[in-house]
Amino acid sequence: MSGSDWISTLQKDLPMGIGAVAALSVLLFVLARYVIARALTGLAARTQSKYDDILVRNLRPNRMAWFAPLLVIYTNASLFPDAETLIAKAALFVILWLAVLTLTGLLSAVNDIYESRPSYNGVSIQGYLDIAKILFALVGIILSITLITDESPVVLLTGLGALAAVIMLIFQNTILSLVASIQIAANDLLKEGDWVEVPSYNADGDVVNINLHTIKIRNFDMTYTVIPTYKIVDVAYRNWRGMKESGGRRIQRSLTVDMVSIKFCDRAMLERLRKIDLIDGFLNEKIARLDAYQREHADHFDSPLDGPQLTNIEVFRAYITAYLKTRTDIFTGGDMPFLVRVLSPSPTGLPVELYIFTKTTEWEKYEGIQAEIFDHLLAAAGSFDLRVFQEPTGLDFSTFGRAVQG
């Protein structure tokens, strides 16, 4: 029996035709899903490359196996003349959207492979791929309508022109996000992995994902903030990437000295302080200048206001500078500022501020360095007869009360 005779027989015998198509569809589906798909999944799992794992995860061979029975149904729709058109359209409709899902999965795989490369620097392409996914979906919708109505896609697109205003309104956020994504990429404003602060959204953390519509930030308290992509170019935010790229992180902190404890250094105090190795050279020079001035103006020298006198706060600042320069984890030259300065007096005392940069940008190491420096300086201040100001506590008032009563 020839092929045409066999087809004619199946067309005349409806149950036999249904059975033949069903049997062939099931056979090809089992072959595609349980043989080919499993073989591809197993092969990807055994290889050392991670790219094939990404492809299998996103393309889903088990889902693609449905192409086999659907193509059998579509190509054999002529076996059922009374329902040929309906069967062919239904099968083609499902094939169409299965193809759309496969293509969008392929784009997701491209993005995952791109971001998994060792050379990935945080510049995301997901926004552009999301646009391609939307275009695939729009093509699928147009072809679906064409399939159902039997109208030409050109006629449908011509009719959609009249609805352009409505379409613009529906996709307003998408269009704004696309423009924002282009601005972000063109001006290198934001990358995945950047530490950003967005005060208007209470966001302070690392950017973990940038796509067409949203920017996802994992805050340092392990919560997530999701910001619309088009909003990020409209609000003020701080990107700490420059700090990380510079290799140094700023310490700008001050300790406040009680101004009552600031005084001129007498000879005994200078002799005591010159024993400190870090500032012996500084003090020797200062003492030599003071002695020379005293000899030159011996007839009218009136200590402590005559001559190059030293205060304990000046010596303390010199000590801080010398101490910081002994630390290998602090920048003491080059492009990084290195300042130990006194700010304007305030009701709480005289602020002595450190404006310096550490040689690390790692948060834990940075905080450790900062803590070590101020622990040392707070303990050292008393050696210079300086008191660090703090608000009175209940213990202070209790001690004062007992002293008054005594």
259 & 399 share domain = yes
Q: Are residues 172 and 215 in the same domain?
A: no
* Residue 62, pLDDT score: 85
Residues 210 and 93 grouped into a single domain:
no
Which pLDDT tens digits describe the chain residue by residue (406 residues)?
444 555 555 555 556 667 777 788 888 888 888 888 888 888 888 888 888 888 888 888 888 888 888 888 888 777 777 777 888 888 888 888 899 998 999 888 888 888 887 777 667 777 778 888 888 888 888 888 888 877 777 666 666 665 666 667 777 787 788 888 888 887 888 888 899 999 999 999 999 988 888 899 999 999 999 999 889 888 999 999 888 888 899 999 999 999 999 999 888 898 899 899 999 999 999 888 888 887 877 777 666 676 678 899 999 999 999 999 999 999 988 788 999 999 999 998 999 999 999 999 998 999 999 999 999 999 999 999 999 998 776 655 566 566 656 5
Mean residue pLDDT of the chain comes to 83
C-alpha to C-alpha distance for 135 and 174, rounded to whole angstroms: 12
Which candidate, 239, 241, 200, 202, places its Cα nearest to that of 224?
A: 202
Q: What is the tally of structural domains in the chain? A: 4
Where is 119: in which H helix or E strand? none
Distance CA 12, CA 23 (A): 18
What is the DSSP-derived secondary structure letter of residue 35?
Answer: I
Let me know whether 123 and 233 are in one domain: no
120 and 13 in one domain? yes
Please check whether residues 60 and 131 belong to one and the same domain. yes
Residues 257 and 272 occupy one common structural domain: no
Instruction: Report CA-CA distances (Å) from 12 to 2, 17, 86, 220.
Output: 16, 8, 19, 72
Q: Classify residue 330: in a domain, yes or no.
A: yes
The verdict on 176 and 49 lying in the same domain is yes
Are 375 and 230 found together in one domain?
no
- 215-232 confidence digits (pLDDT tens): 999 999 999 999 998 898
Q: Which H or E element spans position 195?
A: strand 195-198
User: Does residue 317 fall inside a structural domain?
Assistant: no
Q: 227: domain CATH number?
A: 2.30.30.60
- Given 143, 169, 184, the domain boundary residue is 184
* Domain hosting residue 211, numbered range: 189-241
Q: Where is 248: in which H helix or E strand?
A: none
Q: 238-239 and 249-257 as β-strands: parallel, antiparallel, unpaired?
A: unpaired
Cα separation, 42 vs 153, whole angstroms? 42
If asked whether residues 283 and 216 sit together in one domain, one would say no
Q: Do 389 and 251 share a domain, yes or no?
A: yes
Measured at the alpha carbon of residue 165, what is the angle toward residues 162 and 168, in degrees to the nearest 5?
125
Residues 200, 148 share a domain: no
212 part of a folded domain: yes
Domain boundary among the residues 184, 199, 230 is at 184
Closest CA to 114 of 56, 55, 184: 55
Has this prediction a pTM greater than 0.75? Answer: no
Q: Flag whether 318 is in a domain.
A: no
pLDDT tens for 123-139 read 777 777 888 888 888 88
Is residue 184 within 8 A of residue 122, CB to CB? The reply is no
Return the H-helix or E-strand segment holding 45.
Answer: helix 38-46
The SS3 call for residue 23 is helix
Looking at the domain assignment, is residue 316 inside a domain? Answer: no
Distance, CA of 372 to CA of 329 (rounded, Å): 11
Q: Specify if 95 maps to a domain.
A: yes
